[in-house]
Amino acid sequence: MKLKITITGPKVNDVGYRYFLLGIAMSNRIRMFEAHNMRSSEGQAVLAFADGDEEAIKAFCAQIETERPARSEVSNIVFDDFQGEVMRIGEYAQFCATIQLNKAIPVLLDMRDDLRAVRKNTDLIPQIKENTDAIPQIKANTDAIPQIKANTDAIPQIKANTDAIPQIKANTDAIPHVLGEIKGLRDDIQPGYANNFRQVQADVRAIKERLGMQ
């Protein structure tokens, strides 16, 4: 018995409906089966063909009338007689596998690119660790900023002191001359001081004699 099944509705494509029908056909031991996603005037459609024992076909039809794939939205299911050729169910399963592989290839390529990006990021981990290990030193340098600022604020005073160095040097250079002058004064004072001291002693003795003092 050959049968054509047309399933229409807002959401019957890309919900696994063909594989759902394939599973039901295999469970009912139908040897000839195929299904295809279509577009119709009513919207999305799945067109299925089955060829097998009459009892198996009836059981198949009863099951698909009462069961639906998850997330599908079905408006109508129509059963019609069919006289054409139907693909062997094994060949159709291979056909479905090919379709899924074609869908999977872009996904696999994206996964490959993502893995490459992950590996590139993983290769950066030693550098990230090195940067992380430097954080204490960076913090220490940051903590030193107030001291650096204080030292920087002292620069004008340091410059003023530096500018005074020539005057300090001039004063220092004058020290030998000053010392020489002091030494000369001392040498000049000492002889006169001794003479004056002897004169004072003589005057004291004369006064004592006049007063009758010994």
Residue of 29, 37, 88, 196 with catalytic role: 37
Residue of 13, 18, 88, 186 with catalytic role: 18
Q: What is the pLDDT of residue 2?
A: 95
* Distance (Å, whole) CA 48 – CA 208: 162
In the residue annotation, 37 being an active-site residue is answered as yes
Q: pLDDT of 128-139, one tens digit each? A: 888 888 888 888
State the average pLDDT over residues 92-116. 84
In the residue annotation, 196 being an active-site residue is answered as no
Contact 10, 43 (CB under 8 A): yes
Domain 2-88, what architecture?
2-Layer Sandwich (3.30)
Arithmetic mean of pLDDT over the chain: 85
